[in-house]
């Protein structure tokens, strides 16, 4: 498996297709809520793709919010789950944050994934809340290498 930082429109479109499949089709997030002004190549967010055997399998992005690196839109296509790609994606985003000298990261994690993020060192920092009809919690982590 490999991780690539997205810097071309065709790569960004691959990421969008993965997000549509996971968030819109599978989880029922309205299409108009899934995409926003940060879904560009202009640097407002850094998008990544993770490949498994050269096939795009997952995606995510990180952007800078209130001194945090905010990990967003983390998703993996169903056939590639349980292969460790989620851990690879989070590590890649944390590396980008550290390169930007950001000492802490946060995310809005779906409550069903809370245990996964806790295993990666994240702490729950909020009560559950609804986002696009799905229960989430804010989770944070201080980066040791920042």
Domain that holds residue 22: 2-142
What is the domain-level CATH number for residue 48?
3.40.630.30
User: Contact, 61 vs 53, CB < 8 A?
Assistant: no
0.85 exceeded by pTM:
yes
Question: Hunting for tokens 């550290």 — which residue is that?
Answer: 98
In this prediction, residues 62-84 reach a mean pLDDT of 95
pLDDT interval class at 144 (50, 70, 90): confident
- pLDDT per position as a tens digit, 86-102: 999 999 999 999 999 99
- pLDDT per position as a tens digit, 16-50: 999 999 999 999 999 999 999 999 999 889 999 99
Q: Which residues contact 109 (CB under 8 A, 6 or more apart)?
A: 116, 117, 122, 136, 137, 138, 139
Domain count, the chain: 1
Within the chain, residue ranges assigned H as helices are: 9-19, 31-34, 85-99, 114-119
Q: Which residues contact 114 (CB under 8 A, 6 or more apart)?
A: 124, 137, 139
pLDDT interval class at 118 (50, 70, 90): very high
């Amino acid at each position: 498996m490999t991780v690539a930082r997205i810097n071309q429109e065709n790569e960004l479109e691959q990421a969008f297709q993965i997000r549509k499949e996971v968030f819109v089709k599978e989880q029922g997030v309205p299409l108009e809520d899934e995409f926003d002004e940060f879904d560009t190549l202009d640097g407002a967010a850094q998008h990544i793709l993770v490949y498994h055997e050269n096939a795009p399998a997952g995606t995510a992005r990180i952007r800078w919010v209130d001194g945090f690196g905010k990990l967003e839109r983390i998703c993996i296509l169903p056939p590639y789950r349980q292969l460790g790609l989620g851990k690879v994606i989070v590590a890649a985003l944390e590396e980008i944050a550290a390169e930007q000298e950001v000492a802490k990261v946060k995310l809005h994690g779906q409550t069903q994934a809370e245990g996964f993020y806790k295993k990666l060192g994240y702490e729950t920092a909020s009560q559950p809340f609804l986002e696009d009809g799905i229960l989430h919690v804010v989770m944070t982590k201080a980066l040791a290498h920042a």
